Structure formats: structure tokens, C-alpha cells
Chains A and B, each alone.
Chain A
Amino acid sequence: MDIHAISILCATIAVSVGAIGPALAEGRAVAAAMEAIARQPEAANTLSRTLFVGLAMIETMAIYCLVIALLLLFANPFV
């Protein structure tokens, strides 16, 4: 395998593996927020704002993996 094929393979692995963790974490976060809103509907505003900020934080991990994949594909220092 030459460096191009390895880069493409690694980019795919980075995105697919990097998506697992944040997906599970976001699912748990949303589930917890839903439960909290169901228990206390009057706190929905505060909860959803905190949820959005938290989701953004979690999502950053997946985005980092995406950026690594893009670096491998388009700005690879070894090609």
C-alpha cells in the first residue's frame, strides 16, 4: 500500500471510530436532559440551554477527528 491508500484508510478509521464515542455520549446527555425536563417542565429553558452547550462540547471530539481526517486527505505532510 502506498501512502495515499494508507492516508485514505486512516481518515476513514479516524472519522468512524471518532464518531462512536461522541454519539454514545450525546445520546446519554439528551436522554438525561429529557428525563429532567419530564420531571421539571418549568426548568426546560435552563436545561435546554445547558444541554446545547454540553452537546457542543461533546461534539467537538467528533469534529477534531473530522479535521484530522481532512488533514490526512488534503494537507498530508507526508505526501
Chain B
Amino acid sequence: MIESPLSAPIVFALGPVTITLPVLTTWGLMAVLTLGSALATRRLRVVEPGRVQTALELVVQTLNRQIGETMQADPAPFLPLLGTLFLYLATANLTGLVPGLKSPTAFLETAGALALVVLLATQALGVRARGLWGYLKGFAQPTPLLLPLNILAELTRAFSLSVRLFGNVMSGEFVIGIVLSLAGLFVPVPLMALELLLGLVQAYIFTILAAVFIGGAVGSIERG
């Protein structure tokens, strides 16, 4: 019997709190990303930047440009959240390809938590940009009759965001596992190459959708 993809395996317990595998993997990823960023930005120079700095600048500028084009606004206030989301998702989706590790995003909890972050950030940034009353009034546009539908849309967007990420990453790993158990050692290699692409595409889509939602709440683009 294959273990259920809907429940996360428990690694150890701290008293009543059980620490599951995705939480542990996320801690590892956080440590790697934080230490990597700290080490890479230790020696930044304006003249004659090093190789690492040039690569980092490329990443940050690409993120900046994509977010700016999507939101049609200055990306600077949103780059910390959306950029971190993208970098975390990209690394998290790709950890599934390292032998012995499993993507934390292949569990519903991680995907749900990330979608919750996006949902709360959307509300907070919307309130900050338009004021509490102005933001809440946006839910009753174009007519107050649509108020329940707009609130429902806000919640289902977050739900579909989490389910999309979870479903894609989990199904990719699931298919690789099934093909491996049916066919043998090297047969799933093309599937893993596809998973490499899909993981990055999913990270991109999650970030872009978060940018679209936040842009809609802030008012820089049409509410999606």
C-alpha cells in the first residue's frame, strides 16, 4: 500500500507538538537560503562586482522586472515578500529531486500556509494602500449585491492557490514514484527532467498570481 499523500510523516515529537517532515525540510531550506544570502551579500561592491554578485543582481533584477510588469507599479515595496516566496518555492519544489528528500510543497500544510500568507498580505497591503474603508468598499463594487460573491472569491482564490501548488508538486513526485516502482531505475529520468521544469513554472505561477492578487487589492491593476 502506498502511503497517503494527504498526511505528512512525523519525524519526532517535542512534547505535544509533533514535527513533521515538511516542517523539518522547510527549516533546512530556510537555513540554506538565509546562510547562502548572508554569505553571498557579504562583499558587495559597486565597481567591479564579483561573479556571485553579478548572478545575484541578475536574479533580483529579473524578479523586480517581472513583478513590476505584472503589477504595473513600483515593485520595490512588494519585492521582499514576492521575491522570498519565489526563491523559497523554487528551491522547495526542486528538493523533491534530491534523493532522500521530499518537497515540503508536496504536502497540503505547506501549500496552505503559503496561500494563507498571500491571503493575509493581500488584505494588509490593500488596507495600507487604500485605507480600511476604501479597501472594504472595494468588495461592494460594482454593486453591493456582489458583496458575498466577492468575499467568496477572495477565499476560493487562496484555496485554489494552495491546492494548485500542492496538486502539481505532489502529483509529479507521485508519478515518478509509480513509474520507478513499475519500470525500474533509469526510466523515470525524463519525468524528473519534466519535474525540474514544472517545479520552476509552479514557483513562477504562484508568485505571479500572488502579485496579481496584491496588485488588485492595492489598486494598481484590475481586481483579478
B is a partner of A: yes
Give the docked Cα–Cα distance between A49 and B204 (Å).
10
B63 to chain A, nearest CB (A): 13
Q: Would you call A46 and B69 a contact (CB within 8 A)?
A: yes
B98 to chain A, nearest CB (A): 24
Q: Residues of B contacting A46 with CB < 8 Å?
A: 69
Contact flags A50-79 to B (C-beta < 8 A → 1, else 0): 001100100110011011001100110000
Among B159-176, those with CB < 8 Å from A are 160, 163-164, 166-168, 171
Q: Would you call B164 and A49 a contact (CB within 8 A)?
A: no
Q: Would you call A74 and B6 a contact (CB within 8 A)?
A: yes
Q: Would you call B70 and A60 a contact (CB within 8 A)?
A: no
Contact of A53 among B5, B6, B69, B205 (CB under 8 A): B205
Give the docked Cα–Cα distance between A49 and B205 (Å).
9
Among B68-91, those with CB < 8 Å from A are 69-70
Using A45-B69, A74-B4, A74-B6 as known contacts, say yes or no to A53 and B212 having CB atoms under 8 A apart. Answer: yes
Q: Would you call B171 and A52 a contact (CB within 8 A)?
A: no
Among B1-26, those with CB < 8 Å from A are 4-7
Give the docked Cα–Cα distance between A71 and B6 (Å).
8
Interface contact tally, CB-CB below 8 A: 44
Using A53-B208, A56-B164 as known contacts, say yes or no to A70 and B5 having CB atoms under 8 A apart. Answer: yes
B209 interfacial by beta-carbon distance below 8 Å: yes
Q: Would you call A49 and B70 a contact (CB within 8 A)?
A: yes
Q: Residues of A contacting B6 with CB < 8 Å?
A: 70-71, 74-75
B201 interfacial by beta-carbon distance below 8 Å: yes
Give the docked Cα–Cα distance between A52 and B69 (Å).
14
Using A52-B201, A52-B204, A71-B6 as known contacts, say yes or no to A60 and B163 having CB atoms under 8 A apart. Answer: yes
Chain A residue at smallest Cβ distance from B201:
A52
A21 to chain B, nearest CB (A): 16
B110 interfacial by beta-carbon distance below 8 Å: no
Give the docked Cα–Cα distance between A54 and B6 (Å).
27
Using A45-B69, A59-B164, A63-B167 as known contacts, say yes or no to A52 and B205 having CB atoms under 8 A apart. Answer: yes
Among A5-45, those with CB < 8 Å from B are 45
A5 to chain B, nearest CB (A): 16
B53 interfacial by beta-carbon distance below 8 Å: no
Contact of B164 among A52, A60, A70, A75 (CB under 8 A): A60
Which positions in B face A, CB cutoff 8 Å?
Answer: 4-7, 66, 69-70, 160, 163-164, 166-168, 171, 201, 204-205, 208-209, 212
- Interface contacts beyond A52-B204, A56-B205, A74-B6: sample of 13 additional A-B pairs, CB < 8 Å, sorted by A: A46-B69, A49-B66, A49-B208, A52-B205, A59-B164, A60-B160, A60-B163, A63-B164, A63-B167, A63-B168, A66-B167, A67-B163, A70-B5
Ranked nearest first, the 8 interchain pairs of A and B with the lowest CB-CB distance are A63-B167, A74-B4, A56-B205, A60-B160, A60-B164, A74-B6, A66-B167, A75-B6
